[in-house]
Amino acid sequence: MMIFKILRADEWALLRSSGETEGAPIDVADGYVHFSTATQAPETAAKHFASEDGLMLLALDTDRLGPALKWECSRGDQLFPHLYATLKLEDVIWAQPLPLVDGVHFFPAGLEEAAQ
């Protein structure tokens, strides 16, 4: 199953240059890297990245993350994937810009089908 991480440009640059990251400031504060499913990602973008441009959407395969990935209850009593380990560039399947179009983040067509 594919899960998704949204990073700001500076966070993406750090991951690309160092090959790993503890995540965004919220990830560091919480002690794990926050991810979303394809269904959850648009709401995550709207809630935590409203009006932010220059974002990157990263896709990762849950099978490659191993036992450090935990599914925990969060927003709206939904289960969200949380990684209790360093996020490594080698685990990123793909990354692409997440543009802001008319105030809304534009996700790739077919995201949910591709995440299966």
- The answer for residues whose C-beta is within 8 angstroms of residue 16's C-beta and 6 or more apart is 89
Contact status, residue 2 vs residue 93, Cβ threshold 8 Å: yes
% of the chain residues with pLDDT over 70: 97
Can you give the residue range of the structural domain that contains 33?
2-102
**What six digits make up the tokens of 31?**
């002690």
Residue 108: C-alpha distances to residues 46, 63, 70, 78, 97 (Å): 15, 22, 26, 23, 9
Q: What is the CATH number of the domain that holds 77?
A: 3.20.170.20
Structural domains of the chain, count:
1
- Do the domain assignments include residue 64? yes
Residue 27 has a pLDDT of 97
45 touches 105 (CB < 8 A): yes
In a domain, 111, yes or no: no
Q: Is 109 among the domain residues?
A: no
pLDDT in tens, 40-78: 999 999 999 999 999 999 999 999 999 999 999 998 899
Domain assignment of residue 48, yes or no: yes
